[in-house]
Amino acid sequence: MSAVAEAPVAAATADARKAGDWLLVATAILLCIWVLLPIYLLIVNALSSPQEVTAFPKRFFPSFDVGSLAFFINFAGVARALWNSVLVATLTMVLSIGFGAPAGYALSRFDFPGKETFRFLVLMTRAFPLPLLALPLAVMFIRTGLDDTALGLALVHTTLALPFAVLITFSLFSGIPVELEEAAWTLGCTRLQAFRKVILPLALPGIAASAVFAFTISWNEVFAAAVLTIENRTLTAFLLQSLGESPLYLKFAGGAALVVPALIFIFAVRKYLFAMWGIANR
């Protein structure tokens, strides 16, 4: 008797599970389209001739007309700007981890007066809009000779990236049990050795993730880059100044020129990026 009663229930759960599966698949597909469609359109239009860009309906496969892209590559200063972008972003990455990771460690391991205020102040640096700060910054930079250098710009970008570096590494170190460190001390490690041999290997993927984050913050920043550099402009500042008012086909080509290097970079470091969501602690 009971078997008869259970059969429809089992069927209902199976149905529900099936529906759930469908929902999952549909959501996954939707999310993929959400992310991939703009990139697809960008690439297709970047690889089309100017006439095709304004034409409708669009072709599914581009005609692989590289005229617009070639224009970009030959546009005076693009290569240099690309190099500057990489340089500034790398410097930003190194500086923000160099300053941010020790700060995050201190916040998670030590109790000191003004700790909460410090955490708050770190976040406060993001409260002032850059256009407001750019003028006094530029004046100071011109006077000190930091003006128009990659290092100067990287310092500004570091200020932007630092709060994230501090907070990410803070939660990262907090997730590693202090007992591990204490065990190392009892076995004869100094504080520094314990950090280097026990904590650092565990935290490294997370640190790398926050470094990548700093890299992208620097890569995407426009205003400071546009004001503080002239000859050594970053690619983003260099292109965005002109792209906003360029014809459509060049906008697509420029967009692709901006997005593709960032995509390649993210793809190369994706392993570390995922660590930001806690894989590091396992």
Which residues sit at the interface with other proteins, rule CB under 8 A? 50-51, 54-56, 71-72, 75-76, 87, 90-91, 94, 131, 134-135, 138-139, 141-143, 147-151, 154, 204, 208, 223, 226-227, 230-232, 239, 241-248, 250, 254
Here the tokens at position 57 are 């309906």
Cα Dmax for the chain: 91
Which one, of 95, 222, 100, lies nearest residue 151 by Cα?
Answer: 95
Nearest approach, Cβ of 199 to other proteins (angstroms)?
A: 13
Task: Give 184 or 228: the residue with its C-beta nearer to other proteins.
Answer: 228
Task: Give 106 or 204: the residue with its C-beta nearer to other proteins.
Answer: 204
Task: Give 14 or 157: the residue with its C-beta nearer to other proteins.
Answer: 157
Which one, of 223, 270, 218, lies nearest residue 84 by Cα?
Answer: 218
Which one, of 234, 105, 220, 225, lies nearest residue 165 by Cα?
Answer: 105
Cα atoms in the Cβ-side hemisphere of radius 13 Å centred on 120: 4
Task: Give 193 or 242: the residue with its C-beta nearer to other proteins.
Answer: 242
Query: Which CA distances in Å does 84 have to 28, 87, 197, 221, 243?
Result: 37, 5, 35, 13, 18
Nearest approach, Cβ of 265 to other proteins (angstroms)?
A: 14
Task: Give 154 or 168: the residue with its C-beta nearer to other proteins.
Answer: 154
Nearest approach, Cβ of 229 to other proteins (angstroms)?
A: 10
Nearest approach, Cβ of 149 to other proteins (angstroms)?
A: 6
Nearest approach, Cβ of 158 to other proteins (angstroms)?
A: 12
Task: Give 143 or 186: the residue with its C-beta nearer to other proteins.
Answer: 143
Task: Give 8 or 201: the residue with its C-beta nearer to other proteins.
Answer: 201
What is the sign of the dihedral through the CA atoms of 202, 205, 207 and 208?
A: positive
Nearest approach, Cβ of 197 to other proteins (angstroms)?
A: 13
User: Element (H or E) spanning 45, and its range?
Assistant: helix 2-46
Here the tokens at position 185 are 């001390």
**Integer Cα distance of 159 and 133 in angstroms:** 12
The residue with tokens 């960032």 is 262
Nearest approach, Cβ of 236 to other proteins (angstroms)?
A: 13
**Integer Cα distance of 158 and 125 in angstroms:** 11
